[in-house]
Amino acid sequence: MARPARTASVSLRNPERTRERILSAALKEFAANGFAGARVDAIAQRAAVNKRMLYHYFGNKEHLFREVLRLKMTERQAWAESLSGDPAESLTFWFDAACRDPDWVRLLEWEALQEANRRLIDEKNRRAATNRGLERIRQRQARGQVSAEFDPRHVMLAMRSLTMFPAAFPQLTRLIMGRPISDPTFQKERTAFLKKFAAAFQPSPARSPAKNDPAK
Amino acid sequence: MARPARTASVSLRNPERTRERILSAALKEFAANGFAGARVDAIAQRAAVNKRMLYHYFGNKEHLFREVLRLKMTERQAWAESLSGDPAESLTFWFDAACRDPDWVRLLEWEALQEANRRLIDEKNRRAATNRGLERIRQRQARGQVSAEFDPRHVMLAMRSLTMFPAAFPQLTRLIMGRPISDPTFQKERTAFLKKFAAAFQPSPARSPAKNDPAK
DNA sequence: ATTCCAAGTAACTTGATGGTTACTTAATAG
DNA sequence: CTATTAAGTAACCATCAAGTTACTTGGAAT
């Protein structure tokens, strides 16, 4: 039961490391090829681990997929909590996050495409996190920083749309913008646009394209 | 060379009909399962056509996929042309279209996920159509119906985002809204929201949540 | 030292799947 | 009427991929 005390820096047998390697290899493979397209052999190879180990630790391909998703999910949730409800901040933050980590967006896309009628992977948890996010928006509305004429749910949906779309549809974005989403120029331009556009969520009276926040 | 003159209402051999059946079956199968997940046998079965015919008409699975995409593409382009550049109209129209025909959105999603670095399917055509769309936005800006402070490309990208997102990520939408996107109540609410929100694209002076269009 | 189990390996099984071969038949052109 | 070709069929095949079997081995507990 006692921990191995780590004889040499790395012992030959190392369950945790193996598990980690499988998970990170699986993340890449699933993000790249989706569930159906992902190859268990490829994951094993990427992880430099015998394929059998994958079944040893995760049972089967689907369990592994769910675990990968669940993991990324909780990682993101932590980020979300640390965020104020300010539209300009949220928009730029999440847009940036989507550009930095397209794998995340891609996983959500694969999830969306995967016959959506059944129950979600980590539903309970995600629902709770969503509700906390909605609550933050309501608070902003109460403080007059977000227009109260919009349903918070619709505000959140609009924000998600604006931030995730480019990473979710890079081909359409390139068609429209003439640049790949990885291009820093695009990212800067888009961030600037989102900052201005965030004014759309502010209450009508205090209206005038962002520029600054008089309530400071 | 002369057309068969259609002896009986339907002759036993009927290339066009067979081609159509394959294409429509392929659309469903590809939209449902993506390229990797789609099963050639399933397409053949759905089309009630011998699998060999599929190779007869389209060469292989990938060619068939490209053809399906190309077809849907041109269908949509026609719609787009018939549209004015008014934000409120565009937003509600495309949102409605995405809800009515989720297969279309799903195909675009599959395309996005399919290792995006290579050249797009119907690129030349799509680029041209995109440019015509941008031109329409510029015209609206010149007429003062769309704020000139936004880059037309960013306006288009924002509109696409707002309209396609719910159909592209039904699971996230349900999480936020508490209803499936197929629910008419959701669709009505969202349409109403988009109508109000369209004001965000209008010039600052003429500002006040849509409601009506004084320039009539 | 010995025992025992989790960690690890190699080779195999089984089923699915894209694509092909070899054939038949409808319908049109001459 | 007949030759030709496109439309259509059934059975097959090679390959690939998920999951398994049967085995070996490191290392902690006794």
As a rounded value in angstroms, the CA-to-C1' distance for B44 and D13 is 19
Mutation pick from B92, B95, B126, B165 vs chain A, by most beta carbons of A within 10 Å, is B165
| Banded model confidence at residue B143, pLDDT cuts 50, 70, 90 | very high
User: In this structure, are residues B210 and B196 in contact, taking their beta carbons and an 8 Å threshold?
Assistant: yes
Rounded alpha-carbon distances, angstroms, from residue B112 to A172, B55, B117: 8, 26, 10
pLDDT (tens digit per residue) in A168-204:
999 999 999 999 999 999 999 999 999 999 999 999 7
pLDDT at residue A214 is higher than 80:
no
- Whole-model pTM: value is 0.88
* B196/A contact by beta carbon, under 8 A: yes
Burial B85-122, CB ≥16 within 10 A → b, else e: bbbbebbbbbbebbbebbbbbbbbbbbbbbeeeeebbb
Say whether B37 and A37 touch across the interface (CB within 8 A).
yes
With CB atoms and an 8 Å threshold, state whether B116 touches A34. Answer: no
Q: List bases in chain C with any atom under 7 Å of a protein Cβ.
A: 6-11, 16-22, 26-29
Crossing angle for the helix pair A184-197 and A87-100, nearest 10 degrees?
Answer: 160
Q: What does the alpha-carbon distance between residue B39 and residue A175 come to, in Å, rounded to a whole number?
A: 30
Q: Give the count of Cβ contacts less than 8 A between chain A and B.
A: 153
| A52 CB contact with strand C at below 7 Å | yes
Interatomic CA distance for residues B101 and A186, integer angstroms? 30
| Average of per-residue pLDDT across B45-58 | 95
B 45-64: CB within 7 Å of strand C: 51-52, 55, 60-62
Total residue length of chain B: 216
Q: What is d(CA B154, CA B87) in angstroms, rounded to the nearest whole number?
A: 13
Q: Which nucleotide C1' is nearest A7 CA?
A: D27
Q: Is the pLDDT of residue B37 over 90?
A: no
Token code pair at residue B126: 């799509």
pLDDT surpasses 50 at A8: no
Q: Which of A101-110, B9-18, B128-137 has the lowest mean pLDDT?
A: B9-18
What pLDDT score does A117 carry? 66
What number of CA atoms fall less than 13 Å from residue B79's CA on the CB side?
11
For residue B195, the model assigns a pLDDT of 97
- Cα A54 to Cα A64: distance, rounded to the nearest angstrom: 8
CB A107 within 8 A of CB A35: no
Q: Is the pLDDT of residue A5 over 80?
A: no
Classify A147 in phi/psi space as left (phi over 0), alpha (psi -120 to 50) or beta: beta
CA distance B183 to chain A (A): 13
Residues of B whose CB is below 8 A from A116? 170-171
pLDDT band at residue B8 under the 50/70/90 scheme? very low
Closest to A129 measured CA to CA, from A178, A76, A88: A76
Are the C-beta atoms of residues A198 and A210 closer than 8 Å to each other? yes
> How far apart, in whole angstroms, are the C-alpha atoms of residue A184 and residue B206?
34
Per-residue pLDDT tens over the stretch B163-205: 999 999 999 999 999 999 999 999 999 999 999 999 999 997 6
Nearest-Cα distance to chain B for A154, in Å, is: 7
Does at least one atom of strand C sit less than 7 Å from the CB of B7?
yes
